[in-house]
A and B are shown apart, each in its own frame.
Chain A
Amino acid sequence: MKAQWIQFALLLVFAGMATATPAQTDSQLINIPLSRPGEPVHLEISIVSAHIEVIGENREDAQFEVSVLEGERKIITPSGTKNLTIGAYSVDIEERDNRISLDTDWRANSVRIVARIPQSADLDLETVNNGVIRVENITGSLSLQNTNGPITATGISGSVIAESVNDDIEVSFNRLEGSGAMSLTSVNGDLILGLPADAGAELHLDSAEGEITSDFEVDVVPSKPVVTRDDRRGGVEVKVESVIVAKVGGGGTVFRLKTLNGDVYIRKSD
């Protein structure tokens, strides 16, 4: 009897999943010529709910595969309310002087974007809810924000600023070059930083509640709490931040990694 109840409960769960899983519209594939082929591009995507995947390739144009999860458009008829297959929405993609932006109207509930662009690119990607950001094989300056979802960037060289509130961030470099800012910040997620085996880096680590694990041998540098004082708002605010400074391979590129409730992992990139 108990087994039957469990089977029944599982059936309900799967039935619920089947009805709750929204359908996805057919993908639209758009190839965009660049104003200056062969030169670096800048890609900007800021959508409230989006699966954003950017893949760097050896190419001189940009290709976007765009699909939208079914909206919640309904029609009320005498026989009851019917769901329509697809809700109405619009997506705009603009290229100007090698700068590409993608935007949707507010009705596009959840958008899935796979962008294939030249490897040399600066990215500015942002999403908030039910979103994913994945980046592969890009050389450039990356600004990645996903408030309630994960960020994964692999095969990267250049600078990365990645921020999440409630999910993990994984950034893996295949080489370190340039002097741009490097920062991974989360509140409730883990931080995973992948560095080349021969990398030289200086890690500023701040994990209040989590553990820090490293594949590398590190030299921990004695450091003092950083005290900042702000009296611009009529009062005085004093902030004391205690960070661990650790050098890898004798030091080099500075990384700041900060999470409140997550762990920090320093990995060797493959």
Chain B
Amino acid sequence: MKRTVIVLTALLVLQNDTAAAERVEEQREWTERFAVSTSAPTLEIHNIWGDVRVMPGSEGEITLAIREHRSAPSQALFERSLDVYGLDIQAGDEAVDVRVGEHGQSWHGRDPCRRCRVDFEFEVRVPPAARVYASTVNDGVVEIAGIRGQISASNVNGPVTIHQASACDVVESVNGEVSLSFATTPASDCRLETINGDIRLQVPGGSGLDLAVDLGNGRMTSELPVDPLAIPARVEHHESGRGHQYRIEQAAGVRLAGGGAVFSVSSMNGDLRITESTNSKTQ
């Protein structure tokens, strides 16, 4: 594995001498390059604060342009933040895995570095056929453009935007809009989900697609011709030592142009907007 690290800017440490003198901050930018031996490598990138942007780059290489802004209320906590909110990159010939925080770390029920904050802005270039899993949590966007491989993307408090996709698996947010445009008619099933936000789906005219729609309070609009579709209810059963739970879930069905891959679409408080993409081709 060839690994090249280029530090683009010098380390900038900002010591604030004012009333909040204790707060320690650091900002830096650099680029990491990883050689990959396949035309369809896997990128997995999970952020906590800040943006994740993925776009097509050169074959044989995954490049990360990283901007980090780290702050903590004291030097001691700043040092701790380096462990708690460190940048963990694992790279191989066919995959690059980027995580903020330690691998396998569980923060349930505790704050490991109180009032610490580490914003990472990632701009990642991957071979166009790469498979991408990208996520962030707070104060960031997840934006993926022009990737032909399968895409999974999630955000918690912000939007997910995917341009000119070919295939997706799961695209989700909690408090944000989910927007997905396809360069070609999607051929595989996908789930689009948010709680508080609109879902925008843009496909080439004439795309055959079936949608299983579960909207709470929103409305559906479509620029493309649609037909109602009867979708069978789904029954889930969970058994525990204390009893049984059954859930019957029924979605509203919409068919575009004779049907095709099945997209599950759900938003509690948002609309579904289906539009026709321009300058695209149908597979």
Spell out A's residues near B (CB within 8 Å).
Answer: 25-26, 28, 30, 32-33, 35, 66, 68, 71, 73-79, 82-97, 107
Contact = CB atoms under 8 A, between A and B. Distances in A.
A10 B31 CA distance: 78
A95 B222 contact: no
B-side interface mostly: strand
Contacts of B147: none
A92 B226 contact: no
Nearest to B231: A86
Contacts of B231: 86
Contact of A82 (B228, B235, B248, B251): B228
A65 to B, nearest CB: 11
Interface string B193-233: 00000000000000000000111100111111111111111
8 contacts: A33-B244, A76-B219, A84-B228, A84-B252, A86-B231, A92-B247, A94-B246, A96-B243
Given A75-B226, A76-B219, A77-B221, A35 B243 contact: yes
Interface of B: 213-216, 219-233, 235, 242-254
B235 A86 contact: no
Contacts of B220: 73-76
Contacts of A107: 216
Given A76-B220, A85-B228, A94-B244, 9 more contacts: A71-B252, A73-B252, A82-B227, A84-B213, A85-B230, A86-B250, A88-B214, A89-B249, A95-B244
A95 B213 CA distance: 29
Given A26-B233, A82-B228, A88 B213 contact: yes
Contact of B245 (A66, A77, A92, A97): A92
A75 B252 CA distance: 10
Contacts of A93: 245-248
Contacts of B221: 75-77
Nearest to B227: A82
A25 B233 contact: yes
A28 B228 contact: no
Nearest to B222: A77
Contacts of A84: 213, 228-229, 252-254
Contacts of B230: 85-86
B245 A94 contact: yes
A156 B130 CA distance: 67
A78 B246 contact: no
Contacts of A71: 252
Given A26-B232, A30-B235, A97-B243, A88 B223 contact: no
A120 B215 CA distance: 40
A88 B251 contact: yes
B235 A28 contact: yes
Nearest to A90: B249
A150 B222 CA distance: 42
A88 B220 CA distance: 12
B275 to A, nearest CB: 11
A22 to B, nearest CB: 14
Given A28-B233, A33-B244, A88 B252 contact: yes
A83 B248 contact: no
A82 B247 contact: no
A86 B253 contact: yes
